[in-house]
A and B are shown apart, each in its own frame.
Chain A
Amino acid sequence: MTLPDYEAIDIGHELPALTLPAITRQALAIYCGASGDHNPIHVDIDYAQAAGLDDVIAHGMLIMAYVGRVLTNWVPQSAIRDFNTRFLAMTDVGDQITACGRVVEKFNQATARCVRVEIEAVDQNGIVKASGTALVELG
């Protein structure tokens, strides 16, 4: 994968968005095992209800991983300098997440040319589940 051309990228440039299949219980079970995050609130409905929730909720880090795929689909992973998200709403079973990113800033940092990307994960109703930024070095 080659780096996008810094000069050709304008503020407002949108990274190709990613729309995921609706979250299923099976997807949460697989993520539970794959991630090593065995917090039962994500897979055990009895536990989730005892904790005051209606149902299990998705791992925030699964949502962040979806956003990470938007970044690594756009640039080689080694170009990502930082990546942060705030988790703003719980993601329920059945939610369909779209992850997207948009260039909001271009600047030279030391010898590197960088772009700041705003990232977001929203559900089928437009509710923002996670938002944040990533700093990407474009050579």
Chain B
Amino acid sequence: MPPFSVEVEKGRLRLFAKAIGELDPIYSDETAALAAGFRSLPVPPTFLFCLEMERPDAYDWCEELNVPLARVLHGEQAFTYYGVAYAGDLLTFSSEIVDIYDKKNGTLEFIVRKNTITNQQNEQIAEFDSTLVIRPKSELTTQ
């Protein structure tokens, strides 16, 4: 998949803070963030995963691998952090599928996607691995 870049928007960070019940004002109130010594609202630890879904089609890999979205579950998520990103940053995500394997005699399939994230200064902010589990077809109701 080609690398893609996304600007971190304050409004989205505020909405995300609301969605996860975050009460610490540094994540939603820029005055509080600046007072705490940050250059703007910080991107909370798991929001990097969400920013990656801002690609034109977040599930394009499903189509590429011929996997029906209805059978996809999130199995594991692993972040490694090298820095913190802030509102106003332009983050570039490079993603690749690094592993595909199965368990239980092929009834459960696993797809591992790796993302590497850099900011506008080309500093590496983080990387993360997302393991997606493909549920067996037998669990789907017949239509």
SS of B interface (majority): mixed
B20–A72 touching, CB < 8 Å: no
Distance of B104 from chain A, by nearest CB (Å): 16
Given contacts A30-B18, A50-B143, contact A60 B45 (CB under 8 A): no
Binding site for B on A (CB under 8 A): 1, 20-21, 27, 30-31, 33-39, 41, 47, 49-52, 59-62, 64-66, 68-69, 71-73, 77-78, 80-87, 90, 132
B141 on the interface (CB 8 Å rule)? yes
A65–B78 touching, CB < 8 Å: no
Q: Which of B46-83 contact A (CB under 8 A)?
A: 46-47, 49-51, 53-54, 58-59, 69-81, 83
A61–B76 touching, CB < 8 Å: no
Instruction: List B contacts of A50 (CB < 8 A).
Output: 70, 140-141, 143
Return the 8 tightest CB-CB contacts between A and B, nearest first: A84-B78, A34-B19, A51-B70, A60-B74, A65-B20, A34-B15, A35-B50, A31-B19
